Chains A and B, each alone.
Chain A
Amino acid sequence: MAEKIIGIDLGTSNSAAAVIQGGKPTLIPAAEGTTVAGKAFPSIVAFSKDGDLLVGEPARRQAVTNPDNTIREAKRKMGTEFMYKIQGKEYKPQQISAFILQKIKRDAEAFTGDTINKAVITVPAYFNDNQRQATKDAGTIAGLEVVRIINEPTAASLAFGLDKNKEDMKILVFDLGGGTLDVTIMEMGGGVFEVMSTSGDTQLGGVDMDQAIKDYVIDEFRKKEGIDLSSNAQAAERVRESSEKAKIELSTVMETEINLPFIAQDSSGAKNLEIKLTRAKLDDLIHSIVQRCKPSIEKAIEDAKISISDITKIVLVGGPTRMPIVRKFVSNAVGKEAESGVDPMEAVAFGAAVQAGIIAGDVTSDIVLLDVTPLTLGIETLGGVREPIIERNTTIPTSKDKTFTTAADSQTAVTINVVQGERPMVADNVALGSFNLTEIPPAPRGVPQINVKFDIDANGIINVTAKDLGTGKDAKITIESSSKMSEDDVQKMKSDAEKFAEEDKKKKEEVDIKNEAESFIYTTEKLVSQDLKDKIPQEKGIKITDAIKELKESLTQGTDQIKLKLEALKTIVNEVTTELYKNATPPPGADQKSNQEQSSSGEQTTDEQKSDPENNEEQKSDPENNEEQKSDSEQKSENP
């Protein structure tokens, strides 16, 4: 029998895990038993006063007594440099997550009776590479080989069996958890789940609903008996427990009763709490909370650039979506019935288990399930411009490469600065890592050919290789979890990308024109001082020198000024070269060659650059800058 692989929904507040048994996903219970209304494993880690490690339910139970040594929501810090300081020791977020994964591994082994060494772990669709890598690292630390990382909405869709559908679909995944809402629009076609948009609210969830019911019950009792139950801890706890029970019951019945005898006592004797709660009343109590979900749905639809009627399937995830009012709200908002048949609380873990089953061979699927890159990956080129290598939403695993060249003469090293994001300027994206390719043989700028290759494996983990095609020497990097992009940052970057689209375009144009001007100055100076030194009439030479000077001065001014001066210099240079060619008597068969030289303006281009006019622009540089480039960019080559 194939080795068992478990599926893990590593959540912000709670985690869950499942495994395929008898061809079907089965939830793995925690050793402490399942909690009343939560998933089996609260994502909480704590260290007791004696330094003992507590994970999951025991850690949750002691949280209020030991807040300084209790860590919640480490998932929000995954992929960042943040360090937790506990009892004099430092822990990375992935180490904290690893404690949770270790606990899940242990309990899964107790449940299945097998040793568990492999897992599929889910992450939010908006997780960037650093966050995914950190999640994978957490698995490794916990002794689990993470065979695949998949998006949570993808997992949920798998649990509902949407991968079995042959036709293309647009799926809205509505994930309302205890404290957060995530709305994802996905497209599925040809075995590929592609994330079109994500939106959400980090301050909205089932906790608000429970509180609303509890407040109502306490309020009603106060009105009737004049006693405030919230001031009595025992009474308040009984109200909380029974409110939660009533809420669950009202998902299946239309009316229930909260009956708490001897809840309080005053001079007239014992008081009993008896309140009938109807589904209509419950709907009324949580109506405003449910309505707060609307903007997130609208934003997701808007960002996906589709209309609401384009949605073909709705997948509900999270405990609160079990409530009929929530289900009805989403169905009404989209105009379609939501999928049913899987407990929304377990959907993500079940989907992860299904994916694990497909990999282990326990589950057959005629569809090759693939995910896509969430954000565009690229490298820094001259002037801080981001050159995309792998566009966002590219199906992974994938491998793409581009060939670049140096920016300065005799440049012997280049720095490959890998970035991720949707903005055209490097500074507006997230730097994932950088490395140097050295020992490039000294050569004129534009001659060396440096092939930069991005490989993304099935988990979305990036390997970047830079190879000098001349010498065959290469350097590589596997992106470490070193960057600093929070979930909010990703969302901000995505919205910024749209908001600043015009501004970015302008910024890029500024850099491009400056690069072009610098490059033209360099080429012209070389032409005047070396290549055509004796062939240019003196007065023309002076004219060119003056125009170069003016262009150089304009480099610190606006784009329009640079354009004007660049055009002026080009006109003079064209006049001179035209005159020269007119006077020259070409040797037989030399026509073609001279044409080629003219068309390339003396620049050397690589295959990639020939096919990409933009790269040609970027390749240009200027001699003044060369000095700077040698020191600063010795490394910052132009492309790269």
Chain B
Amino acid sequence: MENENNKELDAFTDSTENNDDKEDAPEIEKVKDSQEELLLCEDKLQRVLADYQNLERRSKMDVTQKVTLKVNQLMLDFIGIYEDFIRAKSALTDEGADTEGLLGVIKNMETILSENNIKEIEAIGEIFNPKLHDAVSTVEDNLLEEGTITQEVAKGYISFQEVIKPSKVIVSKKK
């Protein structure tokens, strides 16, 4: 666009070459001003476009982040109930009750977790990893390798690569 303007300016200059320079001067100035204004507008336009693209990218990211956060929160609430069902199964099994139907419910719940790529974090017997586990206390044990998880106080979960809830654990420590 800049080149086209220059051509226009050249053409304008050529066609008036025989005229008095003094008479041409204001016209040339006017064109120069317009040209500068145009450059400014172009620059502004480019910036606005860049801002818009940034905003678009940022908005997309914001939406993704917010949706992920909400889904994770919802899944954690769901996991709370899923864990209650596991406890119920355990208690009912101890009492010798029929848990077949309950097992079916649990299986369905596990399918939902799987569909959302939510996995339990391995804990008992693993070496403590602060990226996955949250230590609530230690227990002295000379037989185990230092830092071995001996008890899982609360289960932890991972969704894709993100830890949505670290598992709360008790860790071994040598005397």
A237 touching B136, Cβ below 8 Å = yes
Chain A residues within 8 Å of B91, by CB: 262, 265, 269-270
Looking at the assembled complex, report how far the CB atom of A451 sits from the nearest CB atom of chain B, in whole angstroms: 50
B135 touching A61, Cβ below 8 Å = yes
Interface presence of B154 (CB below 8 A): yes
1/0 contact string of B137-175 vs chain A (CB within 8 Å) = 110000000110001011000000011101010110100
Taking a contact as CB atoms closer than 8 A, the residue among B131, B134, B136 that contacts A233 in the complex is: B136
Given A64-B137, A65-B128, A65-B173, A238–B154 Cβ distance below 8 Å? yes
- Give the number of residue pairs across the A-B interface with Cβ within 8 Å: 65
Looking at the assembled complex, report how far the CB atom of A241 sits from the nearest CB atom of chain B, in whole angstroms: 7
B88 touching A261, Cβ below 8 Å = yes
1/0 contact string of A230-242 vs chain B (CB within 8 Å) = 0001100110010
Interface presence of B126 (CB below 8 A): no
Looking at the assembled complex, report how far the CB atom of B41 sits from the nearest CB atom of chain A, in whole angstroms: 19
A261 touching B87, Cβ below 8 Å = yes
CB-nearest residue of chain A relative to B94?
Answer: A265
Interface presence of A217 (CB below 8 A): no
A61 touching B133, Cβ below 8 Å = yes
Chain A residues within 8 Å of B136, by CB: 64, 233, 237
CB-nearest residue of chain B relative to A269?
Answer: B95
A64 and B171 CA atoms in complex are apart in Å by 9
CB-nearest residue of chain B relative to A263?
Answer: B87
1/0 contact string of B57-85 vs chain A (CB within 8 Å) = 01000000000000000000000000010
Chain A residues within 8 Å of B163, by CB: 32-33
A32 and B131 CA atoms in complex are apart in Å by 8
Given A54-B130, A262-B91, A265-B91, A65–B84 Cβ distance below 8 Å? no
A61 touching B90, Cβ below 8 Å = no
Chain B residues within 8 Å of A238, by CB: 154
Interface presence of A365 (CB below 8 A): no
Looking at the assembled complex, report how far the CB atom of B119 sits from the nearest CB atom of chain A, in whole angstroms: 16
Interface presence of A59 (CB below 8 A): yes
B95 touching A33, Cβ below 8 Å = no
1/0 contact string of A135-152 vs chain B (CB within 8 Å) = 000000000000000000
Chain B residues within 8 Å of A21, by CB: 58
Chain B residues within 8 Å of A62, by CB: 128, 130, 135
A237 touching B168, Cβ below 8 Å = yes
CB-nearest residue of chain A relative to B134?
Answer: A61
Chain A residues within 8 Å of B137, by CB: 64, 233
Given A54-B130, A61-B130, A262–B138 Cβ distance below 8 Å? no
Residues of chain A from 205 to 264 with CB closer than 8 A to chain B in the complex: 233-234, 237-238, 241, 261-262
Looking at the assembled complex, report how far the CB atom of B68 sits from the nearest CB atom of chain A, in whole angstroms: 10
Interface presence of A311 (CB below 8 A): no
A58 and B36 CA atoms in complex are apart in Å by 56
CB-nearest residue of chain B relative to A67?
Answer: B138
A262 touching B154, Cβ below 8 Å = no
Instruction: Show the binding face of B for A, using Cβ within 8 Å.
Output: 55, 58, 84, 87-88, 90-91, 94-95, 128, 130-131, 133-138, 146-147, 151, 153-154, 162-164, 166, 168, 170-171, 173
Interchain Cβ contacts under 8 Å between A and B, 13 examples: A33-B162, A33-B164, A58-B130, A64-B135, A65-B138, A233-B136, A237-B154, A262-B91, A265-B94, A269-B95, A270-B87, A270-B91, A270-B94
A-B pairs with lowest CB-CB distance, top 5: A262-B87, A270-B91, A58-B130, A62-B130, A61-B134
